[in-house]
Structure 1
Amino acid sequence: MQSLHLRDEFIKLGQALKAAGLVESGVEAKEVIQDGLVKVNGQTDTRRGKKLYPGDIVSYNGEEIKIEN
């Protein structure tokens, strides 16, 4: 599991996937999220703009990201 450290209060789901290097672009992030391939805290989430806060865990394609301060 890799950690993603926040610069602000939150990060949006699409931005987090891109920042962690799990997708190449915002367009790819949008597609995998809308296709239901991404989970936030164990629940499928199809909102690219979903706000992630410290403690949230994102899962995609066998990889996990933990959001931290």
Structure 2
Amino acid sequence: MNSEIIITKDFIEIGKLIKKIGLITTGGAIKVFLKNNIVKINNVTPQGRSTKVYPDDIIWINDDVYVVKREK
């Protein structure tokens, strides 16, 4: 799967992005999600749930790929 995620600000935290995608339902679940899944931002493992994601970053979550775009 290859999808675009549209954001309205200069960045979004990885925890909020994963919640926006719908993979978790609460912000508190992100810690467990990051521990139990393979998540990469531009091929780098995020350091925590507040790691910032910027437009044009590529996010890998297990076998799915997402590209972050800024709303125009």
Q: TM-score range by the shorter chain?
A: 0.7 to 0.9
**Cα distance change, pair 60–11 in 1 and its aligned pair in 2 (3 A):** same
Which stretch of structure 1 is more off in the superposition, 48-57 or 18-27? 18-27
For residue 8 of structure 1, what is the aligned residue in structure 2? 9
For residue 51 of structure 1, what is the aligned residue in structure 2? 52
- Higher Cα Rg: structure 1 or 2? 2
Q: Once superposed, what is the RMSD of the aligned Cα atoms? A: 1.6
Structure 2: 5+ residue stretches without partners: none
**Cα distance change, pair 62–25 in 1 and its aligned pair in 2 (3 A):** farther
Please report the TM-score for the alignment, with normalisation by the length of structure 2: 0.79
Q: Which has the higher contact order (CA 8 A, sep 6+)?
A: 2
For residue 38 of structure 2, what is the aligned residue in structure 1? 37
Identity among equivalent pairs (%): 28
Aligned residues: 68
Structure 1: 5+ residue stretches without partners: none
